[in-house]
Amino acid sequence: MNITTTVSGDTATLALEGWLDTQTAPELGKAVAALTPEAVNIVLDFEKLEYISSAGLRQLVAIYKKAKSLVICHVSPEIMDVFKMTGLEKRLNIQ
């Protein structure tokens, strides 16, 4: 998985490309942990994300608990199906 991070003021945008699974979920955690304390608003851009596993979902929940605000954008229909099956579409701010 590739993660491209852009920070503007108090907002960090992380664009994910590839698979967010057991192998790569820790990379997302490290990328979020490496953000400056001022970056309290997190945007995850899923435009190029192809797959998400339960490990990826756990990582999203961890980020959701820590961030002041979390927005997930450009979610594919397949990944949205996973969010709906788990009920996370009701908890997460998905645009």
Residue stretches of the chain with pLDDT short of 70: none
Helix axes 54-66 and 25-33, enclosed angle (nearest 10): 20
Whole-number pLDDT of residue 48? 98
Q: Per residue in 1-27, pLDDT tens?
A: 999 999 999 999 999 999 999 999 999
pTM of the predicted structure, to 2 decimals: 0.95
Total structural domains within the chain: 1
Range of the domain at 90: 2-94
Whole-number pLDDT of residue 84? 97
CATH number at residue 17: 3.30.750.24
How far apart CA 93 and CA 87 sit, in angstroms, is: 12
Whole-number pLDDT of residue 23? 97
